[in-house]
Amino acid sequence: MAPLWASRAAAPSSPLCGPPAFPSVPPRPRCLGALPGRAAWPRCCAGCRAWVKPLAGAEVGSTPVTGPTAPQAAEPPAADRAGARPATAPPPDAQPPVRHPEAPAPGTSLGSHYEHCFGCGPQQAHGLQLETRAGEGVEVTAEFTVKPVHQGGPGLAHGGVLVSAMDEALGALSWLLHTPAVTGRLETDFVRPVPVDTVLHIHARVTGVHGRKIYSTAEGRIGGPGGPVAIRAQALFVQVRLEHFTTHGRPEDIKAALDDPDLIKRARAFEVNP
């Protein structure tokens, strides 16, 4: 059956359609009629139909769209183009990380640092429930199982959820240093999609310490610890005092954490050396 607009001599243009705001961006419509499955909208203009046509017959596993409608790689930041050191790379005079003498032994499960944490808290039904273990030196390994509630595209993990998993694993490194630290900057590279029911194997390590700044890097692999890389991350963490949490956190949550009779749990809620 021919689409509804096929019988019209000239479909009226949608007020949302028009040229792209930036000339460097591949031309694509901004009207709702161009969404997949909506190509038969009678108010979709001819330009939108021409743009969405290559997508109409796309199948799962098909090759990416090429030509003028294909997404183009973003330009690198100006600092990278100029050859400057990225903010997440340790400076030349950074010190090598030193594992705290009382850090958990390699292979030890680090457990959840806070039961309500979205990243590792066991009580968060829709959280990541990341499982982290201490590694050699100042390194950790972690596993995150992608569940249906973590979807972005159909059957695939949401990119933001993957970033959260990397952030959580990188944050666990502070327990090996026995110093509280928070994320100052986190950069990620998405290498390949991560399907639902896949286990993401993360390996994170500290690359340098410079004053209050802690530099770290991580990789997430699928299909096993030695499988193909799905995501990479580089981070800058900043050491903070306990007041960082007690000043900015919701009072009732801070009080509940500080009133916990378990000294270790009370300290780990803020990743503070007990």
Tell me: the pLDDT tens digits for 143-186? 999 999 999 999 999 999 999 999 999 999 998 998 889 999 99
The per-residue pLDDT for range 33-59, each reduced to its tens digit, is 444 444 443 444 444 444 333 433 434
51 or 114, greater pLDDT = 114
44-53, 75-84, 204-213, 227-236 — which is least confidently predicted?
Answer: 44-53
pLDDT of residue 86: 80
Q: Write the pLDDT tens digit of every residue in 224-235.
A: 999 999 999 999
pLDDT at res. 17: 45
Distance CA 222, CA 165 (A): 13
pLDDT, one tens digit per residue, over 85-105 is: 688 999 999 999 999 999 999
* Residue 18: count of CB within 10 angstroms of its CB: 13
Question: What is the distance of C-alpha 149 from the center of its chain?
Answer: 15
Q: What value does the mean pLDDT take over residues 2-18?
A: 41
What count of other Cβ atoms lies within 10 Å of the Cβ of residue 203? 16
How many whole angstroms separate alpha carbon 127 and alpha carbon 161? 9
Tell me if the pTM is above 0.85: no
Give the pLDDT of residue 263.
54
Share of the chain above pLDDT 70, in %: 64
Mean pLDDT of 220-248: 91
| Start-end of CATH 3.10.129.10 domains in the chain | 131-268
What class is the 131-268 domain?
Answer: alpha beta
**In the structure, what pLDDT confidence band is assigned to residue 245 with cuts at 50, 70 and 90?**
confident
What pLDDT sits at residue 267? 60
CA distances from 259 to 248, 254, 256, 263 (A): 18, 9, 5, 9
Query: Does residue 112 surpass a pLDDT of 60?
Result: yes
In Å, the largest CA–CA distance within the chain is 78
For residue 4, name the pLDDT band (cuts at 50, 70, 90): very low
Rounded distance, CA 37 to CA 199, Å? 32
Average pLDDT over the chain, rounded to an integer = 74
pLDDT at 120: 75
- Please give, one letter per residue, the 3-state secondary structure of the chain: CCCHHHHCCCCCCCCCCCCCCCCCCCCCCCCHHHCCCCCCCCCCCHHHHHHHHHHHCCCCCCCCCCCCCCCCCCCCCHHHHCCCCCCCCCCCCCECCCCCCCCCCCCCECCCCCCCCCCCCCCCCCCCCCEEEECCCCEEEEEEECCHHHECCCCEECHHHHHHHHHHHHHCCHHHHCCCEEEEEEEEEECCCCECCCEEEEEEEEEEEECCEEEEEEEEEECCCCCCEEEEEEEEEEECCCHHHHHHCCHHHHHHHHCCCCHHHHHHCCCCCC
Cα angle 122, 123, 127; round to 5:
75
Model confidence pLDDT, tens digit, residues 118-141: 777 777 778 887 889 999 999 999
